[in-house]
């Protein structure tokens, strides 16, 4: 029952993040923000999302994981109302400070650290790899549906309605944790943050990967396709829906590969080819070529996600799992937040290829360094 509720919350929220990532850049442009401020807003949103994970991990050790998710859902509702109703540029920019902007289309905010700790408690250790794969699969499928639904936002008025719906999704995800059992809480009462020693090197590498990822967050890619080839929401929606479906299918495969070949091997040898494809995207002579390369890249780029999630929660004690996810997520998100502002400036200056070249190069360095440093360190349930 607890696992089903966790998946329901993840899926519902992923639907909202799916259409938000497609619409947010165009929505802010329609509200009068220039490219540099759009990039700044997206960057602030990514940074705030990551830092809010630390706050939710600390809060969960005080008031419980279920109550923390309830508060986070209400915060998502406030963000949706701000985006739907605000016209002042300052209010639109500060919407990112809630950590619920949805710019990356995935959970970087306060939900992830708490939910992943809950999931580790809700399943046996031997089934953890597959459980995290299914968690990611659920998010991917609903993310695809959300991205596809963005094709209906054919006018500013309809875009506003979508962000009102985003607020309603926040309320729904606030209610679901109420029905979860106490089994999802930490088995011992302890501070959320213990020794960071096992995580320090891993977090540093995650930061490098995320710095590259920030250059090509989904909202940035959507905005780049809009500027470079004139793609609008009616086309961007299906593109990102297709990408999300490919990612979702790859999650299931990732869980099986991780159980057979190891978590680190799965992370590296699925991620590296996707980054080589990323370097080719800005060389696309036309929109169909760009779409094809992006879809090929998306089919591989997120296979490391469930493996990474399972690895992080499996190298620390149970009481510190939420803190471990939050800490590594915060490092990732803060590093990623530098990408969109730089990408926004590059796109505005017609340097169309820079975000993709920077992202690909940084991510390739991450892959090689991760394999060298951690290939011999197995997770708890891999021994």
Count of domains for the chain: 1
Site of tokens 């991620």: 271
Domain that holds residue 217: 2-382
**Tens-place pLDDT, residues 95-153:** 777 777 766 555 667 887 888 888 888 778 778 888 888 888 888 788 878 878 888 88
Q: Is the dihedral of CA 276, 279, 283, 289 positive or negative?
A: positive
Give the CATH number, domain containing residue 256: 1.20.1250.20
Q: 3-state SS of the chain?
A: CHHHHHHHHHHHHHHHHHHHHHHHHHHHHHCCCCHHHHHHHHHHHHHHHHHHHHHHHHHHHHHCHHHHHHHHHHHHHHHHHHHHHCCCHHHHHHHHHHCCCCCCCCCCCHHHHHHHHHHHHHCCHHHHHHHHHHHHHHHHHHHHHHHHHHHHCCCHHHHHHHHHHHHHHHHHHHHHHHHCCHHHCCCCCCCCCCCCHHHHHHHHHHHHHHHHHHHCCHHHHHHHHHHHHCCCHHHHHHHHHHHHHHHHHHHHHHHHHHHHHCHHHHHHHHHHHHHHHHHHHHHCCCHHHHHHHHHHHHHHHCCHHHHHHHHHHCCCCHHHHHHHHHHHHHHHHHHHHCHHHHHHHHHHCCCCCHHHHHHHHHHHHHHHHHHHHHCCCCCHHHC
Confidence band for 350, pLDDT divided at 50, 70 and 90: very low
Give me the mean pLDDT over the 146-170 stretch.
86
**Tens-place pLDDT, residues 186-232:** 766 655 566 666 678 888 898 899 888 878 877 778 878 888 888 87
Confidence band for 347, pLDDT divided at 50, 70 and 90: low
């Amino acid at each position: 029952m607890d696992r089903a509720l966790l998946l329901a919350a993840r899926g519902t929220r992923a639907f909202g993040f799916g259409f938000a990532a497609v619409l947010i850049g165009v929505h802010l442009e329609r509200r009068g923000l220039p490219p540099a401020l759009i990039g700044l807003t997206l960057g602030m949103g990514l940074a705030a999302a990551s830092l809010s994970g630390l706050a939710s991990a600390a809060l969960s050790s005080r008031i419980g994981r279920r109550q923390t998710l309830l508060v986070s859902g209400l915060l998502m509702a406030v963000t949706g109302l701000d985006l739907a109703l605000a016209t002042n540029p300052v209010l639109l920019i500060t919407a990112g400070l809630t950590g619920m902007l949805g710019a990356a289309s995935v959970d970087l905010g306060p939900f992830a650290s708490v939910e992943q700790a809950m999931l580790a408690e809700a399943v046996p250790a031997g089934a953890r790899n597959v459980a995290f794969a299914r968690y990611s699969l659920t998010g991917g499928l609903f993310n695809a549906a959300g991205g596809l639904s963005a094709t209906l936002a054919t006018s500013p008025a309809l875009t506003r309605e979508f962000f009102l719906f985003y607020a309603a999704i926040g309320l729904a995800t606030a209610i679901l944790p109420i029905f979860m059992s106490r089994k999802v809480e930490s088995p011992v009462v302890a501070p959320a943050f213990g020794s960071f020693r096992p995580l320090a090197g891993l977090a540093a590498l995650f930061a490098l990967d995320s710095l590259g990822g920030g250059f090509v967050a989904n909202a940035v890619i959507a905005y780049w396709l809009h500027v470079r080839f004139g793609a609008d929401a009616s086309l961007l929606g299906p593109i990102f829906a297709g990408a999300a479906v490919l990612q979702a299918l790859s999650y299931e495969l990732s869980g099986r590969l991780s159980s057979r070949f190891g978590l680190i091997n799965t992370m590296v040898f699925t991620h590296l080819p996707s980054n080589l494809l990323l370097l080719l995207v800005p060389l696309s002579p036309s929109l169909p070529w760009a779409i094809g390369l992006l879809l090929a890249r998306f089919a591989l780029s997120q296979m490391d996600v469930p493996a990474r999630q399972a690895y992080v929660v499996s190298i620390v004690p149970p009481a510190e799992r939420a803190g471990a996810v939050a800490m590594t997520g915060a490092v990732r998100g803060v590093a990623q937040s530098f990408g969109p502002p730089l990408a926004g400036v590059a796109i505005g200056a017609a340097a169309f290829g820079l975000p993709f070249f920077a992202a690909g190069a940084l991510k390739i360095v991450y892959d090689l360094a991760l394999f060298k440093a951690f290939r011999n360190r197995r997770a708890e349930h891999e021994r």
